[in-house]
Structure 1
Amino acid sequence: MKSAKSKTRLNEIRTPARSRQNLNGERDPVQVYCRLRPMQRETDISCMKILSPTTVLLTPPSTALSYRNENIRSMKYTFKEVFAPETSQQEVFDKVALPLVEGLIKGKNGLLFTYGVTGSGKTFTMTGEPQNCGILPRCLNIIFKTINDYQAHKYVFKPDKMNMFDVQNEAEAMLERQQELHKFKSGKKNNSNPDLAMSSTDITKIDGINEDNQYSVFVTYVEIYNNSVFDLLEDGPPNTKHLPVKIIREDAAHNMYVHGVTEVEIKSAEDAFNAFYLGLKRKRMAHTNLNAESSRSHSVFTIRLVQAPVDEVGEAVIQNKKFLSISQLSLVDLAGSERTNRTKNTGQRLREAGNINKSLMTLRTCMEMLRENQVNGTNNMVPYRESKITHLFKNFFEGEGQVRMIVCVNPRAEDYDETLQVMRFAEMAAEVEVTKPQIHDVAASIGLMSGRRKANRLFNTARDHIARPEAKDLELDLGLVYSLGPDFPSLELNSSQASHIIKELVAHLEMRLSRRETLKRSKALKDERLRSALLELEKESLEVRSENSSLRAQLAASERRVRALEERLTVTESASISHQRKLAEMTEYTSTLKRELQEKDLLLSQYKLEKEKQKKILERKYNNKIMVQTEKAKEIISEKERLRNVVEDKENRLRIIAEALNQNDRGDNIHNLDIMRSDMAAQTSVRDFTPGSTPRALPAHLLTPFSQQTSHTPASSRRGVAVANPRHRRSLSADGKGWVEHAPSKMVPMGTVMKPSISSSKVVKKLTSVKDIANSKTSKYCLISQEQDTDGELETKLYKGDVVPTCGGGAQVIFNDVEMLKQFSPTRESSGTNRASASCARHSGKRREPTISPPQTPSNTSKKQRVDED
């Protein structure tokens, strides 16, 4: 059991604004505002309609679960004010949060929280966006704009870890500032978003601030996750999984607070944004089916303003803890209520949603119980302790403070069932009343006069001016303060024997009278000095006026000269602009001509290159043709000489045989001689056929298979020319794919062993289309020709080459191989080789000569011309 002395001491350290109760019983209702979110899609259907600035109409859609229960009945709900979807953040702040900030500076407590389903715009209303900040950044900006000139030095007010503050002198505060500077000498990371800091021109300063007080701002940032409290500003890793759980306690003034929470002293809005963004990074957010960034916890950002009066001199704070005034503004961003059948949450998200809905249900239950107690006059217990969020703000509903709520609503028809419950809660919360806060001036209660700080500032300014060399002759009384002293003492005269009380009053009155006479004399003296100073100033003013008149005349002349120069400058600028425009046009025209000239030069160079290329090709063709004709002429002459020698040799042999036969039987020899002559005639007829003509019929004894014979072999056993045999088809050219087999139409029938066999080839008689050569599937070209050699034998030549595409989209043929096939008569004998061992000989003469040209046939010539033109 506590003693009476301890109770008295406990009451002395309480905050005066909190320790007193409102004896008059004045109460204010909870002010509830409604803000509608804009539609996300044009196809969405709205179930809400704004009837007036304070009333909305909620109509159930046919898809709602309560459509049948409500009997298709529309409901009207009234609020303090309804904000349309197009309402700006500034308008919401001015109507809702600005009065709470004014009360905070005057020493009143305030609570503002946003309520609604998930995805209805609660976080946007409280925090906002970088270029469109919400309520919290605007509160910080306007607070520091107002108290900027009256802030106490850092660490003058120091938290005592029990929801109160200690007052330190300037030396102690400076020592702690030096320790902090040494501790955080390394660069400190900036967590804020500079876009949220509003410019000074956009911030309205609050009037009515007490200039005789010194102020300090402290902030805390906590979150309530799964019904556990976590400190978001605590030193440690950024991961919230390692943050310890905090507990909620009650201080000496019966106010609830988070025990051991980190309370940061802020000296500017930028420092406040640093603290806010440090906690925002740790705040638990997650993705759900209804909201991409859904808050999974309730966040509470608390601003505590500590103010204390300065001493009678107007410089230092009074070193007394009981003269402190502490006001608090809590900004709460409640997590949105969720329905599992819509979010499809499972696991951890389902547990989070369950705790969120349970805490919101506890808040609603507490509101209903408070309303019932106030309406019916009962004293039922309110279940604050069932949820951390209601337990933390118990003193706001049962003590003194302003409570305001912004109901954020998504007017889509799909959210009607959740919106209906939100509207019912808002309607019930608007009927709850809280005690109206009272303001008490601590300085007036201890006899301190107002205007102390301003008088001290003026006094210091005057002393600095007097300290200048030109003011040494002035005689001023700097120690006099225009005050009659403290107020009358609070004395009570109960009996006539209390003479000492009368004497004390008489002494106090005499002191005040003497003080008054002294002030009158000082005032008269200063009035005289002021009068003389005013006369001097009047003389100086006349001199300045005359000087100003002459300067005005000079200024007028200068202005006229400036206007003339400006007119000339305007004309010159217009001419310069026109010249620049013409210069740009001429430059563009010159660049166009240069581009055309370059294009023509390029075309001309290409034309010259093509001409040179064609000239070289024609020269090479002409030279090759002459060389081929020369070689053929030489071969023909040598072959004729050889044949002449062969014929002479055979005639000599025949003459010798004839002479030998003449010695034997004359008749048989003559018969044999006729046979041999007929054989020679047959051979000669075979040799003398020309390409394209039909060979003469051979004797019957030459159509038999040929083998080596002596002069004694009977004529009936000789063999003739080898017949066609498919097994003897040549296959040397079957080495690739995509051949064009170009065989002229006028040729000897190819049903013999002389016919080439090329697989995967396209046979053409005449090149009538460029597509036969310029084809992506064609890579080889073969030109077949047949002619008679100097011996009268049939000779087949294959000119082979590669098809190469050209730059113009056509193709050209580069010959790189020649294959030659010959067929010899089986009855013909050669001087250099023995051909009697085989019925048919085949050989291929391959020469890798890329520059060789095939014989110019009409079809080949037309083909080359088409390829070159393409």
Structure 2
Amino acid sequence: MKSAKSKQRLNEMRTPARSKQNLVTEKDPVHVYCRLRPMQRDCDACVKIISPTTILMSPPATAISYRNEGAKTMKYTFKEVFPPEANQQEVFDKVALPLVEGLIKGKNGLLFTYGVTGSGKTFTMTGEQQNCGILPRCLNVIFKTINEVQAHKYVFKPDRMNMFDVQTEVEAMLERQQELHKFKTGKKNNSNPDLAMSDSDLTKIEGINEDNQYAVFVTYVEIYNNSVFDLLEDGPPLSKNLPVKIIREDAAHNMYVHGVTEVEIKSAEEAFDAFYLGLKRKRMAHTTLNAESSRSHSVFTIRLVQAPVDEMGEAVIQNKKFLSISQLSLVDLAGSERTNRTKNTGQRLREAGNINKSLMTLRTCMEALRENQINGTNNMVPYRESKITHLFKNFFEGEGQVRMIVCANPRAEDYDETLQVMRFAEMAAEVEVAKPQITDVAATIGLMSGRRKANRLFTTARENIIRPEAKDLELDLGLVYSLGPDFPSLDLNSSQASHIIKELMAHLEMRISRRETLKRSKAIKDERLRSALLELEKDSLEVRSENASLRGQLAAAERRVKALEERLTATETASLTHQRKLTEMTEYTSAIKRELQEKELLLSQNKLDKEKQKKILERRYHHKMAAEHEKAKEIHSEKERLRNAIEEKENRLRIIAEALDRGDNKDVISRQTGDMGAQTSVRDFTPGSTPRALPAHLLTPFSSVPQTRESKDTPASSRRGVAVANPRHRRSLSADGRGWVEHAPNKLVPMGTVMKPSMANSKFVNKLTNVKDIANTKTSKYCLISQEQDTDGELETKLYKGDVVPTCGGGAQVIFNDVEMLKQFSPTRESNHSHRRSGSNCARHSGKRRDTGCSPPQTPSNTSKKQRVDDD
């Protein structure tokens, strides 16, 4: 559609660069059609048809254009103008049927319906009962055409990246058994069964490639408030809370909706079920100008996948490189509307603003494309400003067929909006799109046409040849598989030998003629192949040169992208570092605040605990003072008792000494002395008291007078004195009341003497196997006990003592700082000569020493040896 002035202006503005570009790549303009809606009531119309391709617009007196420009009429030219009485079939045949034919042949197509709200766009695209529109008719014609050459379900499977994978028949059968179809509803649940037309009303497209297998996939999306939603996604049928999808670019630089649900369709009824499922989710609303106004742009895409069969004409070639994918997108744009007419508010106002913004972006992209094509420039086209233009970017910059139906309402109230629509249509008609190039994939890999038909004929002949009536069957298999039937049987011994020879000659002549025919056919095919190879070589040279230039551009772009990526990486690293520091500082501040609060709580708790402890200590102090007073009284009474007992004992000892001097009976004296010692030991030594030391002359069991002959002849057993027992066990320095660990061997000879240390709160171990025996809070001292014989053969016990000190790693170490040595002498052994001469044999000798460099002198009051040893 172009006016006369616009055509003249376009020819004047063409440049040599644009003419040269047209010679390289053939382009077709966008075909724009106009359809007028019938008038709903008798009133003045502002649009009139003056020819099959031209309309005349006259502004009414109420229009804004009338006040600005006066009663100026405008003419607009289209590819074709459909009057109000035009039916749906006529519109489909003129506009959509060529796009369906291109879809079958492997071409991409795009069809828009554009206009003011209430102008009949949805009616033209969808239709109504028993008067279906473009979309249902496209589906009916497609399935009528490819019904006999459809592939089985799941032979072609979407790979979620806008491409398809090819599966074998076995894999497809497993898929069909495991997965149910998502839209399996049946005819009785069909929302509108009148859209499925009868076969007599359909137009079948001729010239389909019977050596290919076809599969149809459909998607249905809407663009609402500049966001893309999948209308066929799994979920409740009436649910409109759908996730937002994003638009991406595939490997072939085609735009597609990522993650969209792509449904494989095997009949027109299944396609209608999918379409009506999405139609229920589509956002519609009531406005002042339209009872059912579309609040979003809807895009119904039909993708046709075709692949050649193998040389036997049976299965699809298992190589996705040989796939041919074509698509037809049917777009029902939302109508443009003015707020002062619709009086929209709130959500409806926001929807109208997004609709008008997306349509304005579409117009801006068309203007930029037209300027680039007319002036030969390469200015940026703002496709990304709107989802609808971003989705169909590859149609305007790539290959395909683009059609637009401008729907107009001729009433006077819509004149201003209709005028803007006509101006946009005039500008869009000047945009050109490159023609799609069709490539015969089967010819490129050396496959001949007619493979499937020849296979069917061969299969039929093979099935029928075993029947009895096969002799009368005449079947022409053509030049497909062999030179002819087998040789006839030869039996030259019979009387009909001449007849057999004639049959053989006829058979050989037929085979010779068939061979000559095959040779001629082969020569023709070789010549075609040679010419095709020459063309391919020519195209290869052009592609190589173009590829070299593109590689240079790609290298420059990659360098630029790499530099930007490095800057972006550095910026992200710095941002992450700052973010990490901020997080650390925030955590540190929070930790300090928590620690401060905990310390304040601890201080208050400690203060309370101290007050409680002070009260407890005060009570304990008072109780202890009272106990001390009572204990002092008990000690005083015990001292008095002990003093009386000692005086009584001294009196008895004096009596015994006098009896010994008089030479009385020793047995009686010994018995009395033993009884007295036992009584004294039992009576004098009470638990917790410290016994007093006896005089030295009382500890000596023999008299100090010189011995007589009778005394020398007396046995040693008769000369023994009274053994004095002392139950005290705190003479060792180890008995200091701390937590001790006694480490001693199993076979330790017991020492029942006063030298045996008694360690309170001690733990006795034979072998250190666990570190917890030493490394605990209750243990602070360590004692290692060993026994051996000295040079005189006497038993000697050594106590190696030390402090237990905890280590940093949680263990403990022992620092030895003292050694005690204990000895016990036999009372029957004479220690030296001087003792034997003096006759002063000890009843029992025990030694305990701590080395200090010298030994203390012996005193007559104590005949036992005592030594102390200090080892640090």
Relative to the length of structure 1, the TM-score reads 0.52
Deviation, 1:238, is 2.6
Paired position in structure 1 for 2:700: none
Distance in 1 separating the partners of 2:164 and 2:510: 40
Residues 212 and 342 (structure 1), Cα distance of their counterparts in 2 relative to 1, 3 Å cut: same
Matched, 1:396 2:395: yes
Q: Which residue identity does 2:292 align to in structure 1? A: E
Residues 353 and 183 (structure 1), Cα distance of their counterparts in 2 relative to 1, 3 Å cut: closer
Paired position in structure 2 for 1:228: 227
Distance in 2 separating the partners of 1:76 and 1:295: 30
Residues 182 and 54 (structure 1), Cα distance of their counterparts in 2 relative to 1, 3 Å cut: closer
Paired position in structure 2 for 1:40: 40
Deviation, 1:241, is 3.3
Residues 518 and 369 (structure 1), Cα distance of their counterparts in 2 relative to 1, 3 Å cut: farther
Matched, 1:337 2:340: no
Paired position in structure 1 for 2:207: 208
Distance in 2 separating the partners of 1:193 and 1:313: 42
Give yes or no for contact 2:140–2:268 (8 Å, CA) kept in 1. Answer: yes
Paired position in structure 2 for 1:454: 453
Paired position in structure 1 for 2:72: 73
Paired position in structure 2 for 1:270: 269
Q: Which residue identity does 2:38 align to in structure 1? A: P
Q: Which residue identity does 1:144 align to in structure 2? A: F
Deviation, 1:469, is 3.4
Paired position in structure 2 for 1:369: 368
Paired position in structure 2 for 1:423: 422
Deviation, 1:460, is 1.0
Q: Deviations over 1:327-363 (max 9, x none)?
A: 0000000000010111111111101000000000000
Paired position in structure 2 for 1:378: 377
Paired position in structure 2 for 1:592: none
Paired position in structure 1 for 2:83: 84
Query: How do 1:633-712 residues align onto structure 2 when only pairs under 5 Å count?
Result: none
Q: Which residue identity does 1:281 align to in structure 2? A: K
Residues 342 and 82 (structure 1), Cα distance of their counterparts in 2 relative to 1, 3 Å cut: same
Deviation, 1:519, is 8.2
Distance in 2 separating the partners of 1:122 and 1:478: 53
Give yes or no for contact 1:58–1:74 (8 Å, CA) kept in 2. Answer: yes
Q: Give the ranges of 4+ consecutive aligned residues of structure 1 lying more than 6 Å apart after TM superposition.
A: 182-189, 472-480
Matched, 1:445 2:436: no
Residues 467 and 185 (structure 1), Cα distance of their counterparts in 2 relative to 1, 3 Å cut: farther
Deviation, 1:239, is 3.8
Query: How do 1:321-720 residues align onto structure 2 when only pairs under 5 Å count?
Result: 321-471=320-470, 481-482=480-481, 520-521=511-512, 523=514
Give yes or no for contact 1:22–1:438 (8 Å, CA) kept in 2. Answer: no
Q: Which residue identity does 2:81 align to in structure 1? A: V
Please list every run of 5 or more consecutive structure 1 residues that lacks an aligned counterpart in the other structure: 1-20, 485-516, 527-870
Deviation, 1:483, is 7.8
Give yes or no for contact 1:220–1:264 (8 Å, CA) kept in 2. Answer: yes
Q: Deviations over 1:103-130 (max 9, x none)?
A: 0000000000100000000000000011
Give yes or no for contact 2:110–2:329 (8 Å, CA) kept in 1. Answer: yes
Distance in 2 separating the partners of 1:113 and 1:474: 55
Deviation, 1:461, is 1.2
Distance in 1 separating the partners of 2:242 and 2:207: 41
Distance in 2 separating the partners of 1:319 and 1:428: 46
Distance in 2 separating the partners of 1:149 and 1:344: 54
State the secondary structure of the residue aligned to 1:247. Answer: strand
Distance in 2 separating the partners of 1:102 and 1:70: 45
Deviation, 1:482, is 4.3
State the secondary structure of the residue aligned to 2:66. Answer: coil
Paired position in structure 2 for 1:133: 132
Residues 483 and 260 (structure 1), Cα distance of their counterparts in 2 relative to 1, 3 Å cut: farther
Distance in 1 separating the partners of 2:247 and 2:292: 28
Shifted more, 240-249 versus 327-336: the winner is: 240-249
Q: Deviations over 1:498-546 (max 9, x none)?
A: xxxxxxxxxxxxxxxxxxx9983484999xxxxxxxxxxxxxxxxxxxx
Paired position in structure 1 for 2:26: 26
Give yes or no for contact 1:112–1:403 (8 Å, CA) kept in 2. Answer: yes
Deviation, 1:453, is 0.6
Give yes or no for contact 2:183–2:273 (8 Å, CA) kept in 1. Answer: no
Give yes or no for contact 2:211–2:450 (8 Å, CA) kept in 1. Answer: yes
Deviation, 1:438, is 1.1
Paired position in structure 2 for 1:299: 298
Give yes or no for contact 1:192–1:270 (8 Å, CA) kept in 2. Answer: no
Distance in 2 separating the partners of 1:295 and 1:111: 20
Give yes or no for contact 1:240–1:283 (8 Å, CA) kept in 2. Answer: no
Distance in 1 separating the partners of 2:185 and 2:141: 30
Residues 320 and 347 (structure 1), Cα distance of their counterparts in 2 relative to 1, 3 Å cut: same
Deviation, 1:477, is 12
State the secondary structure of the residue aligned to 1:222. Answer: strand
Deviation, 1:192, is 3.7
State the secondary structure of the residue aligned to 1:173. Answer: helix
Q: Deviations over 1:114-161 (max 9, x none)?
A: 000000000000000111100000000000000000000000000000
Deviation, 1:68, is 2.3
Distance in 2 separating the partners of 1:37 and 1:194: 26
Give yes or no for contact 2:141–2:204 (8 Å, CA) kept in 1. Answer: yes
Q: Deviations over 1:788-827 (max 9, x none)?
A: xxxxxxxxxxxxxxxxxxxxxxxxxxxxxxxxxxxxxxxx
Give yes or no for contact 1:482–1:519 (8 Å, CA) kept in 2. Answer: no
Distance in 2 separating the partners of 1:143 and 1:312: 26
- Between the aligned residues of both structures, percent identity stands at 87
Distance in 2 separating the partners of 1:180 and 1:524: 52
State the secondary structure of the residue aligned to 1:38. Answer: coil
Distance in 2 separating the partners of 1:481 and 1:137: 41
Deviation, 1:180, is 2.1
Q: Which residue identity does 1:223 align to in structure 2? A: E
Residues 92 and 185 (structure 1), Cα distance of their counterparts in 2 relative to 1, 3 Å cut: closer
Deviation, 1:474, is 9.2
Q: Deviations over 1:264-312 (max 9, x none)?
A: 0001101110110110111111100000000000000000000001111
Distance in 1 separating the partners of 2:53 and 2:182: 54
Q: Which residue identity does 2:298 align to in structure 1? A: S
Q: Which residue identity does 1:112 align to in structure 2? A: L
Residues 230 and 519 (structure 1), Cα distance of their counterparts in 2 relative to 1, 3 Å cut: farther
Residues 420 and 447 (structure 1), Cα distance of their counterparts in 2 relative to 1, 3 Å cut: same
Give yes or no for contact 1:191–1:278 (8 Å, CA) kept in 2. Answer: no
Paired position in structure 2 for 1:99: 98
Distance in 1 separating the partners of 2:474 and 2:385: 73
Distance in 2 separating the partners of 1:185 and 1:210: 30
Residues 184 and 78 (structure 1), Cα distance of their counterparts in 2 relative to 1, 3 Å cut: closer
Deviation, 1:189, is 8.0
Please list every run of 5 or more consecutive structure 2 residues that lacks an aligned counterpart in the other structure: 1-20, 484-507, 518-872
Q: Which residue identity does 1:287 align to in structure 2? A: H
State the secondary structure of the residue aligned to 2:69. Answer: coil
Distance in 2 separating the partners of 1:340 and 1:209: 50
Give yes or no for contact 1:22–1:436 (8 Å, CA) kept in 2. Answer: no
Residues 224 and 186 (structure 1), Cα distance of their counterparts in 2 relative to 1, 3 Å cut: closer
State the secondary structure of the residue aligned to 1:414. Answer: helix
State the secondary structure of the residue aligned to 2:63. Answer: coil
Deviation, 1:66, is 1.3
Distance in 2 separating the partners of 1:197 and 1:455: 34
Distance in 2 separating the partners of 1:133 and 1:75: 33
Q: Deviations over 1:593-614 (max 9, x none)?
A: xxxxxxxxxxxxxxxxxxxxxx
Residues 157 and 72 (structure 1), Cα distance of their counterparts in 2 relative to 1, 3 Å cut: same
Distance in 2 separating the partners of 1:298 and 1:483: 58
Paired position in structure 1 for 2:252: 253
Deviation, 1:193, is 1.2
Distance in 2 separating the partners of 1:242 and 1:102: 37
Q: Deviations over 1:471-515 (max 9, x none)?
A: 38999999983489xxxxxxxxxxxxxxxxxxxxxxxxxxxxxxx
